[in-house]
Amino acid sequence: MSILVVGSVAYDTVETPFGKAERVLGGSASFFSVAASFFTSVNLVGVVGNDFGEKQLAAFRGRNIDLSGLERMDGQTFHWQGKYSYDLNSRDTICTDLNVFEFFKPKIPESYRKSELVFLGNIDPVLQLDVLEQVQKPQVVACDTMNFWIQGKPKELRRTLEKVDVLLVNDAELRQLSGEWNVIKAARAVRAMGPKTLVVKKGEHGVLMVGEESFAAPAYPLEAVFDPTGAGDTFAGGFLGYLAAAGNAKDETLRRAVIMGSTLASFCVEAFSLDRLLKLTRKEIDDRFRLFKRLTHFEDI
Amino acid sequence: MSILVVGSVAYDTVETPFGKAERVLGGSASFFSVAASFFTSVNLVGVVGNDFGEKQLAAFRGRNIDLSGLERMDGQTFHWQGKYSYDLNSRDTICTDLNVFEFFKPKIPESYRKSELVFLGNIDPVLQLDVLEQVQKPQVVACDTMNFWIQGKPKELRRTLEKVDVLLVNDAELRQLSGEWNVIKAARAVRAMGPKTLVVKKGEHGVLMVGEESFAAPAYPLEAVFDPTGAGDTFAGGFLGYLAAAGNAKDETLRRAVIMGSTLASFCVEAFSLDRLLKLTRKEIDDRFRLFKRLTHFEDI
């Protein structure tokens, strides 16, 4: 299956206890596309400003990423600035300059409309629904969202969720969306809103997938987490990329896809921006997948 | 192997968002012994006051638990009172009345001295070392500790750790003990202090075991966590009980032991005190162990 992804392409300025990176490539669609492109062809839809040049585009070139849907608009590219403390699970946003992203109305190129898997990145749920109306019925619709939309556009988000097969959220968002504290009860409530498969991202504590069955995976234990920015989008890219390449959403495939997403995310956090992902080889990915297997394996009694 | 456990036998008064229990059976050695007794014979060493009667002892009777080391002292039994909020990961201690536990000097009965596995519950590290001097060389020494001793008796604790094979701590204690934020670096630092195997308990986020290899296990996802009190000690009982019954500390055995500990702990939190553990059957344990296998299983690529 080919994947259509709609999301942000951005500049990030990030400070962690280990260093600072200024105006480096970021954005949900960037991390997602590069991660997914290890497995399948990706059709990217996003918007950048005049300040986004060939140097930045080079990250996407030579990969399985179609850029015909990357719109260029007069103005500056979306810029996010954040700072992490030693507890890399929490971060402070220092500024969010939406710039051209404020006026983003996704236009799906004709050549993208038959994409079999659609990933609706974290944008206004009204725009997410609009994207679905522009495509021919995809086999899998996956979606991300955030507290801003859960609180600000609850009705619109519910209308989008009715059309979604796989929802990726973090544990705090899941609790907010469902109004339930307990993750299992919360997952049941959200599954009743539409998405049959729920992927709950818990940062350094791993992932819990709730569908017909539940599947739990730890995060890969790293000695040096350098910058967590983009880990969630990279997870989504590895997860959905693997799923699209497998061409089915059977339980066993979904489980391996979670591990593949976690594998890609574990590389992402080893460096700023997409630096590690852009150097990554398929062999390194498969080797770490096998280490994940060893990390979690035990014999039945 | 038989197990010797030294720890507290206590009354707990616990309030959770779901109810309150007053002066019910608690204490690390109580939870530990009942959990471990599903797998092997347990030699308990602890102290209680005059107020600890036959009704409380009934919890231990008819199980594989030897009570010759349970000393009775004039005075009141140790009493702990705590309160949990909806986030069951954190709790407030309302009062800690040490009572007779303040004067506890573990005396190991002659019949216990050949115990092959020793579990030093969370007591003064000086007393922990004293216990080791009273026993014949056990095959495995396991140990728990807490922030109070890490901060208050660091040198004494280091002397005890030199004699320990398996250390069970939570992630905050691990960081405090090592002075390292990153769990993997922290684990390496603590392994250099003595314990070859480190079991890091992360509450609802599961367990990470670091030895020659690493092994990660999620907590069992429960729809209703009623009272987390004793979960860590119950984990230790299931973990070490399984290990003792297997009679070896091979990597594959340690991995299954972690799952067995997690299984026992998942039952513990379903009710106040030891209520659920005391009704538990070996079949229920084995069934949930297999659900754990299904929860975490994925096929290699």
- Mean of the per-residue pLDDT values of chain A: 96
Is the confidence at residue A70, as pLDDT, over 80? yes
Chain segment B164-216, per-residue pLDDT in tens:
999 999 999 999 999 999 999 999 999 999 999 999 999 999 999 999 999 99
Q: Does the beta-carbon distance from B256 to A184 stay under 8 Å? A: no
Candidates A262, A271, A245; CA nearest to A296 is A262
Mean pLDDT value across residues B258-274: 98
Q: Which residues of A186-222 are buried (b: 16+ CB within 10 A; e: fewer)?
A: bbeebbebbbebbbbbbbbbbbbbbbeebbbbbbbbe
Tell me the residues of chain B between 144 and 173 that have a Cβ less than 8 Å away from chain A. none
Confidence of residue A59 (pLDDT cuts 50, 70, 90): very high
Mean pLDDT value across residues A103-111: 97
Percentage of chain B exceeding pLDDT 90: 94
Confidence of residue A53 (pLDDT cuts 50, 70, 90): confident
Instruction: Write down the pLDDT at residue A301.
Output: 87
Is the confidence at residue B135, as pLDDT, over 90? yes
Mean pLDDT value across residues A26-48: 98
User: Do A25 and A59 contact (CB within 8 A), yes or no?
Assistant: yes
Q: Which residues contact B260 (CB under 8 A, 6 or more apart)?
A: B39, B238, B239, B241, B242, B285, B289
- Flag whether residue A191 sits within 8 Å of chain B, measured between CB atoms: no
Shortest CB distance from B221 goes to which of A184, A218, A297? Answer: A184
Instruction: Write down the pLDDT at residue B301.
Output: 87
User: Do A93 and A81 contact (CB within 8 A), yes or no?
Assistant: yes
Tell me the residues of chain B between 269 and 298 that have a Cβ less than 8 Å away from chain A. 286, 289-290, 293-298
Using CA coordinates, name the residue in chain A closest to B258: A298
Global ipTM: 0.94
Q: Report the alpha-carbon distance of residue B116 to residue B121 in Å, rounded.
A: 16
Candidates B238, B222, B224, B246; CA nearest to B277 is B238
Mean pLDDT value across residues A102-107: 96
Mean pLDDT value across residues A37-48: 98
Q: Which residues of chain A have a CB within 8 Å of the CB of B283?
A: none
- Mean of the per-residue pLDDT values of chain B: 96
Dihedral sign from CA coordinates of B88, B93, B95, B100? positive
Beta-strand pair B79-84/B91-97: antiparallel
Shortest CB distance from A208 goes to which of B208, B221, B286? Answer: B221
- Flag whether residue A183 sits within 8 Å of chain B, measured between CB atoms: yes
Confidence of residue A85 (pLDDT cuts 50, 70, 90): confident
Across the A:B interface, residue pairs with CB atoms under 8 Å apart total 100
Is the confidence at residue A15, as pLDDT, over 90? yes
Confidence of residue B224 (pLDDT cuts 50, 70, 90): confident
Which site among A174, A242, A286, A301 would you substitute to test the B interface, given the most B Cβ atoms closer than 10 Å to its Cβ? A301
Mean pLDDT value across residues A117-126: 97
* Distance, CA of A14 to chain centre: 18
Phi and psi dihedrals of B108, rounded to 5? -90, 115
Using CA coordinates, name the residue in chain B closest to A223: B184
Percentage of chain A exceeding pLDDT 90: 94
Candidates A279, A281, A234; CA nearest to A260 is A234
Q: Report the alpha-carbon distance of residue A128 to residue A42 in Å, rounded.
A: 18
Instruction: Write down the pLDDT at residue A87.
Output: 75
Instruction: Write down the pLDDT at residue A20.
Output: 96
Is the confidence at residue B90, as pLDDT, over 90? no
Confidence of residue B262 (pLDDT cuts 50, 70, 90): very high
3-class secondary-structure state, position B189: helix
Q: Which residues of chain B have a CB within 8 Å of the CB of A299?
A: 252, 255-256
Instruction: Write down the pLDDT at residue B264.
Output: 98
Chain segment A213-244, per-residue pLDDT in tens:
999 999 999 998 999 999 999 999 999 999 99
Alpha helices in A88-196 (DSSP H): 125-134, 147-152, 154-161, 171-178, 183-191
